[in-house]
Structure 1
Amino acid sequence: MKQRGFEIITQYIDQGIAIPQRATKGAAGYDFEAAETVVVPSIWQLQAQGIAPKPVLVKTGIKAYMAENEYLELVSRSSNPLKRFLMLANGVGVIDRDYYNNEGNEGHIMFQFLNFGYEEMVIEKGERIGQGIFKPFLLADVDDVENERTGGFGSSGKN
């Protein structure tokens, strides 16, 4: 029986997408790669053009399954802000267990980036962009949630 892991979403099968792997035995995070080449514009260039900066979603072509009372935490690579001026717009990403195989996008995991450098940044297909760490979570004594997920990215707050 599968407990936790990764799969390639249907749209990206046969497109050379790598399943996330840990780089070393002691690593907590599984390295995610970009599924497509993406340009992340500089927030300064956008501002100079009178355009409000907005995060760029970088697709991975990957979905994750996990056990009950677990989630996948998405974090940036330590080199992203220091060397590439890229930061996760949401600080950390949370992939809930019920995001897997949802009807909206099959559970496609995406990283949200902002570029605080002065020049646009190109993320190439296959480039490592972030890490995923499986984590347990606890529930409060009173927890009466009955709602089910009905969509994909950003759908859990919609009614």
Structure 2
Amino acid sequence: MSTPTSPRTGRLLPARAAWLRAHAWAHRGPVRAAVTKVVLTLVGVVVIVAGIAMLVLPGPGLVAIVMGLAVLAAEWDWAKALLHRARIRLEAARAATLPRNASWGRRAAVAGSAAALGAASWVFSAVLMGASPAVVTQAWTSLVSLGG
């Protein structure tokens, strides 16, 4: 995996440079490295468990699971490999759904489908949380009036 550098200057990107400094500091001694590994492992597992809970509760479950894996990837190679495989599969799905040379109509259809899915999930979650159909209709009318 290549180190991200600025295309203009060829130097390390600021975030990457800061990460490398923090990683070097955390692994300066054996005790500090062990404590760092334990803390990052616990934080990563807690975030993943919270993400799994958010799959059935309100909240961004998949985002939390990926964030937990990213925390674990800081110390564990298997998590880094899992994130890499997920990135490759997501890129393949994106390319299959919306290739770079897709027509304007196909792009509009995908955007419209995504908007419809988002609106349907919003209405469904509002009803699940106990909102009456009248409240959902009024909120939907207000939301649509904002757009145009």
Instruction: Give the TM-score normalised by the residue count of structure 2.
Output: 0.24
Please state which structure has a larger fraction of its residues in strand.
Answer: 1
Q: Which has the higher contact order (CA 8 A, sep 6+)?
A: 1
Instruction: Give the TM-score normalised by the residue count of structure 1.
Output: 0.22
Larger Rg: 2
